[in-house]
């Protein structure tokens, strides 16, 4: 994308003639990034940061991210969703969505951060739908190919036993689950890095908040 076009992306949502002032235009919305031509707005980044700050996803913990960190997270999600649409890989079960969305809405209602006031009705459910779609996509695209050998689990159990010096500790299944989760997370990060390296990303100046 030529620099001039990149600059114009930041002017997508300007007021018409009525909003024109002597010094120029009044900006209603600014862009944060363009991901393979798909525009992410500053409001999208703020919304992502708010949901993470409020731990809206059931089972998650509060994450306080800068605007740049939230944008980076949103870019990675966008890359995966673009691939999901292309491959038609990944689904969301309506019953699961309803349950997660209900708890997410309760979490947002209890969130002490004033950022939740900017979340419009229905946006929490849509955000949960996207996150569940991403989870299912990565389960089908990445996790299914991750292998963990019994010997690896046995060695890790032996290492932990020698480190603690007593019989108390996680079970074999707990260790296996931890190791598998770690390997899946690593492979997802690898997938994201490869996807980003092959993509057309344009970042707009973004003030940390």
Helix (H, G, I), strand (E, B) or coil at 40: strand
Determine the pLDDT at residue 47.
Answer: 97
Determine how β-strand 13-14 pairs with β-strand 27-29: antiparallel
Give pLDDT tens digits for 43-81: 999 999 999 999 999 999 999 999 999 999 999 999 999
The answer to whether the CB of 81 falls within 8 A of the CB of 196 is: no
Give pLDDT tens digits for 151-167: 999 999 888 887 766 66
The helix (H) or strand (E) run that includes residue 162 is helix 150-164
Contact residues for 45 (Cβ-Cβ < 8 A; gap 6+)? 32, 67, 70, 71, 74, 206
Determine the pLDDT at residue 163.
Answer: 72
Q: Which of 20-24, 148-152, 161-165 has the highest mean pLDDT?
A: 148-152
Q: How large is the average pLDDT for residues 24-35?
A: 78
For residue 63, the 8-state DSSP code is -
Q: How far is CA 163 from CA 11, 156, 174, 180, in A?
A: 59, 11, 17, 21
Taking the alpha carbons of 80, 29, 205, 120 in that order, is the dihedral positive or negative? negative
Give pLDDT tens digits for 124-147: 999 999 999 999 999 999 999 999
Taking the alpha carbons of 54, 55, 58, 61 in that order, is the dihedral positive or negative? negative
Which stretches of the chain are assigned E, i.e. beta strand?
13-14, 27-29, 31-35, 38-41, 201-203
Name the pTM for this structure: 0.80
Helix (H, G, I), strand (E, B) or coil at 46: helix
Contact residues for 116 (Cβ-Cβ < 8 A; gap 6+)? 50, 54, 108, 109
Dihedral pair phi/psi, residue 65, rounded to 5°: -115, 150
């Amino acid at each position: 994308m030529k620099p001039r076009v990149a600059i114009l992306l930041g002017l997508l949502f300007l007021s018409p003639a009525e909003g024109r002032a002597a010094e120029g235009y009044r900006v209603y919305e600014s862009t944060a990034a363009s991901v393979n031509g798909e525009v992410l707005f500053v409001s999208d980044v703020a919304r992502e940061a708010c949901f993470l700050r409020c731990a809206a996803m059931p089972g998650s913990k509060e994450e306080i991210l800068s605007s740049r960190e939230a944008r980076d997270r949103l870019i990675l999600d966008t890359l995966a969703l673009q691939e999901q649409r292309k491959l038609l890989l990944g689904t969301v079960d309506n019953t699961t969505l309803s349950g997660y969305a209900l708890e997410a809405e309760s979490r947002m209602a209890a969130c002490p951060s004033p950022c939740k006031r900017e979340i419009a009705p229905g946006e929490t459910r849509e955000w949960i739908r996207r996150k569940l779609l991403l989870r299912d996509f990565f389960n089908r695209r990445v996790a299914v190919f991750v292998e963990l050998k019994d010997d690896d689990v046995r060695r890790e159990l032996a290492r932990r036993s020698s480190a603690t010096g007593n019989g108390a500790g996680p079970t074999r299944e707990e260790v296996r689950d931890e190791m598998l989760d770690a390997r899946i997370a690593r492979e997802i990060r690898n997938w994201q890095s490869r996807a980003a390296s092959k993509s057309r990303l344009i970042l707009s100046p973004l003030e940390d908040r």
